[in-house]
Amino acid sequence: MTWLVTGGAGYIGSHVVQAFLEAGLPVVVVDDLSTGHRSFVPAEVPFIQADINDTPVLTGTLREHEVAGIVHVAGFKYAGVSVQEPLQTYRANVSGTVSVLQAARDAGVPNLVFSSSAATYGTPQTETVTEDTATGPESPYGESKLIGEWLIADEARATGLRHTSLRYFNVVGSGYPHLVDTSPHNLFPLVFDAILDGRQPTIFGDDYPTPDGTCVRDYIHVSDLAVSHVSAARRLQAGEELAPVYNLGSGDGTSVRQIMDAMAAVTGRDVAPQIKDRRPGDPPRIVAEGALAARDIDWAMRHSLEQMVESAWTARQRWQDRAQD
């Protein structure tokens, strides 16, 4: 039976769609193309351009395609911007999730995998985050994702919905040359733009108590993340119980300086960054433990840092070439 991927024309959602297809599982995509791209959705995949707040359209899609489960990726994903745009954030991420849940209830769809975020933790007091680490979101985006988890858990108690939420950390790379991260706020696109424009990228602080003085964060390859969505979907559809939340993280982390060095090596460009003062509130290190996801939903770090950078750079160059044609 078919799975619905909301936001399936976006960077992460399109990789999830590809992972389902490679696993032999049919999908249908709903996306409003506010940040996604129609070209990211394979021609053979049914595509409905619609806002996820349009509950009747969602319900009709679920019924028409006899959908067995939903991977809910659609949302407003810019933590920094969410501070200036809280209403837009809540409409997309909270009202949108209510709409998805209502459509699932109305159409009798029993399974849901939710795209959550490390932003639910805010600035944790521990250097290694587990699923038991206290949540403390510090932006409307992080709050909206945590509320989404609560909504799903409440609906599950009311209806028996089988579900799990996957908390992503820093998603990078590309599994296919035509699928690229076009976010104007993520690290990789920002650095690539600087390289291509002949500008210096920026490091905020090089005096942290880390091996090279720069912040350490958790970077994961988008294709590795997509595989875990398929595994979670299969287990839910088989009636198996999963944990309510899984972290998708490396367990080690990578420093900003290491990222810059890898980009210089891969691109062959001068990536000598300018160093600016620390940003207020930036913790030295945030890394997630992914052992629970590795046990239950086929989570693994299958790509090296160099492969993450190289795949992202290849996709970014192809995207630029297409834009210039």
Bridge partners, 47 (sequence order): 29
Is 141 catalytic? The answer is: yes
Q: Give the amino acid at 237.
A: Q
> For residues 246 and 317, is the Cβ–Cβ distance under 8 A?
no
For tokens 């290190």, name the residue: 285
Please list, in sequence order, all residues whose beta carbon lies within 8 angstroms of the beta carbon of residue 195, skipping any fewer than 6 positions away.
201, 263, 267, 269, 271
Tokens of 292: 């629970």
Closest CA to 291 of 222, 257, 243: 243
Q: What are phi and psi of 111, to 5 degrees?
A: -130, 140
Strand 202-204, strand 274-276: pairing: parallel
Catalytic hit among 141, 208, 219, 246: 141
Strand 128-129, strand 202-204: pairing: unpaired
Q: Which residues are part of the catalytic machinery?
A: 141
